[in-house]
Amino acid sequence: MLKPPLKWAGGKRWLVSHLAPIWERHASRRYVEPFCGGLAVALGLQPKRTLLNDVNPHLINFYRHLQFGLTLRIEMRYDEELFYRHRARFNELIKNGGAQSEEAAELFYYLNRTCFNGLCRFNKSGEFNVPFGTYSTVNYDADFSVYPSVLRDWTFTNTDVEKVRIRKGDFVYADPPYDVEFTTYSSGGFSWDDQQRTVEFLAQHDGPVVISNQATPRIVELYERHGFAVSYLDGPRRISCTGDRTAAREVLAVKE
């Protein structure tokens, strides 16, 4: 399995073995992910015809450069002064129309590997504002040459889930941000209304759909109400500031 190039919160590399038997029944179809995130599932399944979308434009810019051969020319060290200098340059590019440049893609990779917990967070002005990470050391990849041959024919888009151009018969795997009950928004800014409209949109699709999420009671009820068959999985252990390492209960909702 090709390793995802970025750190990404909620990555689903562990889920690939559960999704593979479902995908194998539909491997002749086009594969679509409305929330491609860290790319772990697509890289694990390696479909030939693929549409991968994410609402984060900087993530998609990185992937678009990666698929045609990204070369890292910037200085990369686990150094606090360098981190804040690169962060300031990245935000300058965003402000001045350079967010789609190769330099922005290089900086995005460095910031992702170096910042606190690999978070991707922006302030109201659109500036990346995650602080320097707390690691003993960081390993940076200098060679991305293995990715273009896999990603070359994949299509990347940057839009809202309901604007993703899903075609009749496509195989859709959706991994929306976790539902967090008793709060208005999840950590990713994805509201309960967003959860509902995502399911309503995907339930209308004429083709197989698989959705993963945290197994909150309201998520389970929502998916079952829209005709999905629900099963449960124990996700990877969480690591929090309180030391809680309880396995996350996940739901896998399938409509074939």
209-214 sheet: strands from edge to edge? 155-157, 50-53, 31-33, 171-174, 209-214, 247-255, 229-237
Q: What percent of the chain has pLDDT over 90?
A: 83
In degrees to the nearest 10, what's the CA dihedral of 231, 37, 188, 120? 150
Give yes or no for residue 241 having a pLDDT over 80.
no
Q: What percent of the chain has pLDDT over 70?
A: 93
Query: Please, are residues 95 and 187 in contact by the beta-carbon 8 Å criterion?
Result: no
Query: Please, are residues 131 and 115 in contact by the beta-carbon 8 Å criterion?
Result: yes
Class in CATH terms, 71-143: mainly alpha
Closest by CA to 176, choosing from 161, 158, 157, 163, is 161
Tell me the fold of 13-56+149-255. Answer: Rossmann fold (3.40.50)
pLDDT value, residue 190: 86
Closest by CA to 171, choosing from 48, 15, 56, 40, is 48
Domain limits, CATH 1.10.1020.10, in the chain: 71-143
Residue pLDDT, tens place only, 27-54: 999 999 999 999 999 999 999 999 999 9
d(C-alpha 167, C-alpha 244), whole Å: 42
d(C-alpha 163, C-alpha 56), whole Å: 14
Mean pLDDT of 147-172: 96
Phi and psi at 35, nearest 5°, equal -130, 75
Cα separations in angstroms, 75 against 107, 110, 111, 120: 10, 9, 12, 20
The encoded tokens of residue 157 equal 């888009």
Phi and psi at 51, nearest 5°, equal -125, 115
d(C-alpha 105, C-alpha 125), whole Å: 20
User: Is residue 69 left, alpha or beta, with left meaning phi > 0 and alpha meaning psi from -120 to 50?
Assistant: left
pTM for the predicted model, two decimal places: 0.91
Show the DSSP H helices in the chain as ranges: 16-24, 40-45, 57-66, 80-95, 102-114, 148-151, 192-203, 217-225
Give yes or no for residue 243 having a pLDDT over 70.
no
pLDDT value, residue 38: 95
Domain limits, CATH 3.40.50.150, in the chain: 13-56+149-255
pLDDT value, residue 25: 96
Length of the chain, please?
A: 256
